[in-house]
Amino acid sequence: MPLAVIKVIEGVFSAEEKKRMIEKVTEAMVSIEGESLREKTLVLLEEVKSGDWGIGGRSLTTDDVKQLRATR
Q: Quick one: which of 52, 39, 57 has its CA closest to 2?
A: 39
CA torsion angle 18 16 64 26 (round to 10): 20
| CATH number, domain with residue 32 | 3.30.429.10
Which phi and psi (to 5°) does residue 33 adopt? -90, -20
Q: Cβ contacts of residue 25 below 8 Å, gap of 6+?
A: 4, 6, 43
Domain count, the chain: 1
Max CA distance (Å), the chain: 43
Look up the domain containing 37 and give its range: 3-70
The model's pLDDT over 33-72, given as tens digits with 9 standing for 90+, comes to: 999 999 999 999 999 999 999 999 999 999 999 998 888 6
The model's pLDDT over 2-14, given as tens digits with 9 standing for 90+, comes to: 999 999 999 999 9
